[in-house]
Amino acid sequence: MSLDAVLSRIDSDLPAATERLMELLRIPSISTDPAYTADCDHAADWLVADLTGLGIATEKRVTPGHPMVVGHLDGPGPHLLFYGHYDVQPVDPLELWDNDPFDPRIEQTPKGKVIRGRGSSDDKGQLMTFIEACRAWKAVHGSLPCKLTFFLEGEEESGSPSLVPFMEENAEELKSDLALICDTGLFESKTPAIVTMLRGLLGEELTIKGPDIDLHSGMYGGVAINPIRVLSRIIASLHDAQGRITVPGFYDGVPELPDEIEAQWQGLAFDHGTFLGDVGLSKPAGEQDRTPLEMIWSRPTCEVNGIWGGYTGDGFKTVLPSEAHAKISFRLVGTQDPLKIREAFRTMVREMLPEDCDVSFRDHGAGAASMTETSDPSFEAARQALTEEWQIPAAYVGCGGSIPIAGHFQTILGTTPMLIGFGKDDDALHSPNEKYDVESFHKGIRSWARILAALT
């Protein structure tokens, strides 16, 4: 059978496929930092060349930010679009990496072989699973089994500012029967999963300004307002004692979980002891009356992602700083309105400001939550394909992360998104020592080959 030949080809080509991924991982395409603009461009070029080599007509498309990579291949059967992103997160704190984040290596660990390096899991390793599946298919059959569009982004880790305008301008070109998105994980690191619920994301940066200049805390301490103390008080007041978020109107549009989903989730063997224990924790923080799985998949959050102000170097400096800063993000669910929440948050902060303090805000993106209908028969076909590969029944799951593109496919293109990925909970996404299991990479490629067969 034709699928078996493709799977064999994938197995025998794995060393070469791994070497191709390592090449892509060596490009430090950090999208949020302007110092890496040329590297983002280089990563886009690399993908254009690779897809072109597969016979896919691919172009680097200019945006006001980093370029999009768009490729088309005509073919029989349904029209599938594949989305992934070639940009990666920053690497600091660099001193916590065991090796250069952009000098990836294969490591043998107690849990198996891993590919270690920034972007190995998020998202270069994942996007290459699909490309490698296509490569094997083409090698065996000389062509691919369906009409294909590749749509690869370079700004996913920096709020995707160019994405919506680009999708709107090129809607006709990008419309397809189904959008495959590979940027999620296995459930509990072992069960194949299709994500049907995604949280939205609102990112805010605030700067509290007190005195005009940094002051000597001996001369002014006590009598002059200290913006770090003001900022700390604001952050401390964003949650109440029960772990609920205090921004007025925040919970408008937060649905209770439908009974059937609750039942399905209770059937999943989620062990929060292991989930937290893997990262050195023992007790769920957050809302006291919610289960950990609810908190991660279906409840909104407010987290501080960064804070800084005053003297942060070695030693001590008795400075009373002029400014203090924080980066704060909200994960959103249901029909929570990101723009309304932004306004409510900003108003709340302004109302908490004491005299002699100013606040300024910087917008780091806003996207609502999304939920996918799974009634299309392709979902069941993909679920069976995943089950066959992993020999564990694939699950429909929620995801705590935010992948705004999923909602955009629905709203801008009218295309149903299908989110399938092979990351594991201990991949250290966005952290030092990010890795992707060779198992994820290998079985991920095989999964896509099976899904291509099942959908065409």
CB-neighbour burial class of residue 312 (10 A; exposed 0-12, middle 13-18, buried 19+):
exposed
Contacts for 169 with CB less than 8 Å, ≥ 6 apart: none
Asked if 274 touches its own copies (CB under 8 A), the answer is: no
Instruction: Report whether 115 contacts 18 (CB < 8 A).
Output: yes
H or E element that contains 331 = strand 323-332
Give Cα 152 distance to the centre of its chain: 14
Which residues, including other chains, have CB under 8 Å from residue 45's CB and lie 6 or more apart? 60
Q: Which of residues 317-356 bind its own copies (CB under 8 A)?
A: 317-321, 324-327, 329, 331, 354-356
With tokens 């950090």, the residue in question is 30
Which one of 13-21, 52-60, 62-70, 84-92 is the stretch in contact with its own copies (CB under 8 A)? Answer: 84-92
Which string of x and - marks every residue 253-272 that binds its own copies (by CB under 8 A)?
-------------------x
Query: Does position 116 bind its own copies by CB under 8 A?
Result: no
Among 65, 104, 117, 401, binds its own copies (CB under 8 A): 401
Task: Give the shortest CB-228-to-its own copies separation in angstroms.
Answer: 4
Q: Which is nearer to its own copies, 32 or 170 (CB)?
A: 32
The footprint of its own copies on residues 64-83 (CB under 8 A) is: none
Which of 107, 384, 430, 454 lies at the binding interface for its own copies (CB under 8 A)? Answer: 430
- Binding string, residues 141-170; x marks residues near its own copies by CB under 8 A: ----------------xxx-----------
User: Restricting to residues 34-63, which ones interact with its own copies according to CB under 8 A?
Assistant: 34
Q: Shortest distance, CB of residue 396 to its own copies, whole angstroms?
A: 18
Using the rule CB under 8 A, which residue among 61, 431, 454, 456 binds its own copies?
A: 431
Q: Tokens 């990579």 — which residue?
A: 69
Nearest distance from C-beta of residue 181 to its own copies, angstroms: 15
In the list 307, 344, 348, 454, the residue contacting its own copies (rule: CB under 8 A) is 307
Closest to its own copies by CB, 15 or 280 = 280
Looking at residue 325, what DSSP letter applies?
Answer: E
Q: Which is nearer to its own copies, 87 or 439 (CB)?
A: 87
For residue 77, which of 123, 145, 173 has the smallest C-alpha distance? 145
Q: Does 384 bind its own copies (CB under 8 A)?
A: no
> Within a 13 Å sphere around the CA of 378, how many CA atoms are in the beta-carbon half?
21
Instruction: List the 435-437 sheet strands across, edge first.
Output: 105-109, 112-116, 435-437
**What number of chain residues touch its own copies (CB under 8 A)?**
101
Our finding on whether 29 is near its own copies (CB under 8 A) is no
Binders of its own copies among 180-199, rule CB under 8 A? Answer: 199
Closest CA to 149 of 134, 165, 169, 162: 134
Residue 44 corresponds to which amino acid? A
Query: For residues 282 and 375, which CB has a smaller minimum distance to its own copies in the complex?
Result: 282
Q: Residue 306 is encoded by which pair of tokens?
A: 């960064």
DSSP 207: E
- The residue within the footprint of its own copies, chosen from 188, 346, 365, 374 (CB under 8 A), is 365
- Residue from 45, 400, 410, 454 in contact with its own copies (CB under 8 A): 400
Site for its own copies contains 217 (CB under 8 A): yes
Residue with Cβ nearer its own copies (317 or 340) = 317
User: Cα–Cα–Cα angle for 137, 143, 149, nearest 5°?
Assistant: 90
Nearer to its own copies, 126 or 176 (CB): 126
As a whole number of Å, the CA-based R_g of the chain is 23
Q: How far apart are the first and last CA of the chain?
A: 15
Binder to its own copies among 55, 75, 78, 310 (CB under 8 A)? 310
Question: By rule CB under 8 A, what string of x and - marks binding of each residue 287-306 to its own copies?
Answer: x----x--xx--xxx-xxxx
- How far, CA to CA in Å, does 186 sit from each of 50, 390, 441? 27, 10, 12
Residues 6+ apart with CB under 8 A from 296: 398, 400
Residue among 23, 74, 92, 169 that touches its own copies (CB under 8 A): 92
| Nearer Cβ to its own copies (255/414) | 255
Interactions with its own copies, residue window 219-258 (CB under 8 A) = 219-226, 228-229, 231-233, 235-239
User: Which run of H or of E encompasses 206?
Assistant: strand 200-209
Cβ nearer to its own copies, comparing 285 with 392: 285
- What's the Cα-to-Cα distance from 401 to each of 200, 221, 301, rounded to whole Å? 8, 42, 11
Residues 6+ apart with CB under 8 A from 186: 192, 193, 390, 421, 422, 423, 424, 440
Binding piece for its own copies, criterion CB under 8 A, among 124-132, 163-171, 246-254, 279-287 = 279-287
CB 362 within 8 A of CB 327: no
* 144 or 295: CB nearest its own copies: 295
Q: Does 94 bind its own copies (CB under 8 A)?
A: no
